[in-house]
């Protein structure tokens, strides 16, 4: 299939993604409209991308990036729809499933515009996405299991408080993430030289500073947009822990999250998944796909919550993950996103402390 052919089929896919949202809009409530807005945004972005490439108004590279972003938004709408659709509401369930399939098709066709695509290639790319997504989910499961085991082991020898349990769980989570990263790298490459750990150079430091500024700006922009649209959000698990045990616990938890979330997550989702995809896809596609996987696996951190709240949280994590992924791509040093991620968590946790302590 030629570039023009892929763009033409992509136009049909984007239009098909727009139809469910447009048709359902008059009969849904305000909460469901957030999901429809995500689907509409994704379908519109993808439509503009494919149309622009087909008619020569947008460069192929730009069209690929926009189409992948649109596809990811469509998939997000599907994920939120699947989570929130009761079994009896067949129409909502079918709409969500359609978005999942159409979003994946848009991403596949976006890559096809750049390289040319056939059915075999599409299947190969789909299997690659499933493989890396599986690694991400496996890492989450292993980390959660090891975290539980370490916490249970501590409970067997003492009567730990909530902070001690949290710390033990974070140590276990870190062990689990690192173990999955190491085993995966050994299975793929046969040695650990593939892991991009090194001291920072001057360029890395500049990227760290730019990344911190960028991630704060993007997170702030997302917060403002959610506030303007009156999008409900759910609380993070650390916020709930602070409510239960007191705000000071949140500050003490900061170094513990570096052990569990920051180091382990960046090794798995950046150094393993993103790097593996980058060697087989375009850099932009790898950045977006790995960020989408990273965002989806963060759903447990925000549960329980209403479907629209979970969707808003996942979308916010996705935008933040894009900054981390770009920083890793620019430097080839996983220490860079580790530092950005860690400092961002510090800022968020200090904000949670200030809120719980009544400082604002």
At 292-336, the pLDDT tens digits run 888 878 776 665 555 566 667 778 888 899 999 999 999 999 999
Is pLDDT at 135 greater than 50 in this prediction?
yes
The pLDDT score that the predictor gives to residue 87 is 42
pLDDT at 117: 58
Q: Which residue has the tokens 């001690």?
A: 164
Tokens of 338: 């580790």
Q: For 46-58, what is the mean pLDDT? A: 90
Q: Which of 266, 261, 275, 259 is nearest to 321 (CA)?
A: 266
CA 153 to chain centre: 31
Give the three-class secondary structure for 1. Answer: coil
Q: Are the CB atoms for 264 and 174 separated by under 8 Å?
A: yes
Q: Which whole-number Å values give the CA distances from 24 to 40, 82, 96, 127, 221, in the listed order?
A: 11, 16, 12, 32, 28
**In the predicted structure, residue 289 carries a pLDDT above the cut 80:** yes
In this model, does residue 220 exceed pLDDT 60?
yes
Please give the residue that has the higher pLDDT: either 38 or 120.
38
Residue among 174, 167, 177, 168 nearest 150 (CA) = 168
Flag whether pLDDT at 74 surpasses 50.
Answer: yes
- CA dist 173 and 191 (Å) reads 23
Q: Is 330 exposed, middle or buried (0-12, 13-18, 19+ CB in 10 A)?
A: middle
> Mean pLDDT over all residues of the chain?
82
Q: For the residues 105-117, what does the mean pLDDT come to?
A: 75
More confident of the two residues 230 and 346: 346
Please give the C-alpha separations between residue 359 and each of 105, 238, 355, in angstroms, as whole numbers. Answer: 48, 18, 6
Give the closest residue to 238 by CA, choosing from 304, 166, 299, 306. 166
54: tokens are: 């087909």
pLDDT, tens only, 79-94: 766 555 444 455 676 7
Tokens found for residue 51: 């149309």
């Amino acid at each position: 299939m030629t570039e023009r052919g892929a763009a033409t089929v992509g136009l049909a896919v984007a239009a098909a993604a727009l139809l469910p949202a447009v048709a359902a809009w008059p009969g849904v409530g305000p909460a469901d409209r957030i999901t429809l807005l995500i689907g509409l945004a994704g379908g519109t972005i993808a439509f503009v991308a494919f149309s622009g490439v087909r008619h020569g108004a947008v460069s192929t590279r730009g069209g690929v990036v926009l189409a992948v972003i649109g596809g990811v938004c469509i998939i997000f709408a599907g994920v939120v729809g699947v989570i929130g659709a009761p079994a009896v509401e067949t129409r909502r369930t079918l709409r969500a499933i359609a978005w999942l399939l159409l979003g994946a098709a848009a991403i596949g066709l976006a890559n096809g515009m750049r390289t040319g695509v056939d059915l075999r290639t599409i299947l190969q790319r789909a299997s690659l996405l499933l493989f890396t997504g599986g690694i991400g989910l496996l890492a989450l499961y292993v980390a959660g299991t090891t975290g539980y085991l370490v916490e249970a082991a501590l409970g067997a020898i003492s009567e730990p408080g909530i902070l001690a349990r949290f710390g033990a769980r974070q140590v276990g989570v870190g062990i689990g993430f690192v173990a999955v990263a190491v085993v995966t790298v050994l299975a793929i490459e046969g040695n650990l030289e593939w892991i991009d750990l090194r001291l920072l150079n001057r360029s890395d430091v500049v990227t760290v500073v730019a990344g911190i500024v960028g991630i704060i700006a993007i997170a702030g922009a997302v917060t403002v947009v959610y506030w303007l649209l009156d999008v409900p959000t759910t609380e993070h698990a650390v916020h709930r822990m602070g409510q239960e045990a007191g705000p000071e616990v949140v500050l003490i938890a900061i170094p513990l999250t570096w052990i569990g979330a920051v180091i382990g997550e960046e090794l798995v989702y950046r150094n393993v998944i993103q790097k593996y995809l980058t060697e087989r896809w375009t850099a932009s596609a790898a950045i977006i796909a790995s960020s989408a996987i990273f965002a989806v696996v963060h759903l447990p951190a925000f549960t329980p919550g209403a479907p629209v709240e979970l969707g808003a949280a996942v979308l916010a994590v996705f935008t933040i993950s894009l900054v981390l992924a770009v920083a890793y791509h620019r430097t080839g040093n996983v220490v860079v996103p580790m530092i950005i991620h860690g400092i961002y968590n510090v800022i968020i946790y200090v904000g949670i402390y200030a809120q719980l302590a009544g400082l604002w």
